[in-house]
């Protein structure tokens, strides 16, 4: 059973997320929805539950350095209010230096903030032959920039064969769980009532 944090801020004090505002889900194959049908990705599930436009801007196989370049175009094109940043899995799989990953993620956060876009981080776990563990880079950045974070849902999903399509990707059921966890964090930051 997966437990989620409860709301800590009274809803009436949260800013309202208008129906015409957009959420940009930005990342790699975990955002794209690899391992399930495209309409079963976590951004698609999130769009259905929040009843707000959630743009799936995931590119399978992309490294964070490429994502940093691409983010500029994506923010300019979609003009989101909120960026859901779930990137770095390919850097981790390819054993790219953590300092490089941290720099690229940090620059994405800085760029988004400079353009008036809020950021929520979604942590990607470290993969090894024996287990998955939380990657410290995401928590460090969340603390440094005072960002909301969903830091452990991917590790939780990928520890359970019922929810994964392969070693590093959720399946349809896993993406539903991922979307629910991200939704909890988003709803701690905004009000969505019509």
Q: What is the mean pLDDT of residues 118-142?
A: 88
Distance CA 86, CA 109 (A): 12
**What tokens were used for 131?**
């287990």
**pLDDT value, residue 11:** 65
pLDDT at 118 over 90: yes
Report pLDDT digits (tens) over 60-117. 999 999 999 999 999 999 999 999 999 999 999 999 999 999 999 999 999 999 999 9
Strand extents, DSSP E, the chain: 22-27, 53-58, 82-86, 118-122, 126-127, 132-133, 149-150
Distance CA 194, CA 192 (A): 6
pLDDT at 176 over 80: yes
Distance CA 184, CA 181 (A): 5
Report pLDDT digits (tens) over 131-170. 677 899 999 999 999 999 999 999 999 999 999 999 899 9
Report pLDDT digits (tens) over 43-64. 999 999 999 999 999 999 999 9
pTM for this model (two decimals)? 0.92
**What tokens were used for 140?**
């460090």
Query: How crowded is the C-beta side of 33, counted as CA atoms within 13 Å?
Result: 21
Tell me the pLDDT of the chain averaged across its residues: 93
By the 8 A CB rule, do 89 and 29 touch? yes
pLDDT at 4 over 60: no
């Amino acid at each position: 059973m997966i437990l989620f944090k409860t709301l800590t801020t009274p809803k009436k004090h949260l800013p309202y997320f208008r129906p015409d505002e957009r959420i940009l889900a930005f990342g790699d194959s975990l955002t794209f929805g690899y391992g399930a049908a495209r309409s079963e990705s976590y951004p698609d599930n999130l769009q259905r539950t929040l009843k707000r436009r959630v743009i799936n801007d995931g590119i399978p196989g992309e490294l964070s350095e490429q994502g940093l370049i691409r983010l500029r175009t994506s923010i300019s094109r979609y003009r989101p209010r909120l960026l859901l940043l779930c990137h770095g899995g390919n850097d981790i799989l390819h054993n790219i230096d953590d300092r490089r990953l941290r720099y690229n993620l940090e620059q994405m956060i800085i760029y988004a903030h400079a353009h008036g876009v809020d950021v929520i981080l979604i942590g990607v776990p470290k993969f090894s032959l024996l287990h998955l563990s939380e990657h410290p880079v995401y928590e460090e950045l969340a603390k440094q920039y005072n960002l909301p974070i969903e830091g452990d849902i991917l590790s939780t999903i990928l520890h359970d064969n019922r929810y994964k399509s392969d070693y590093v990707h959720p399946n349809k059921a896993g993406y539903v769980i991922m979307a629910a966890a991200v939704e909890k964090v988003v709803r701690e930051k905004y009000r969505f009532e019509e």
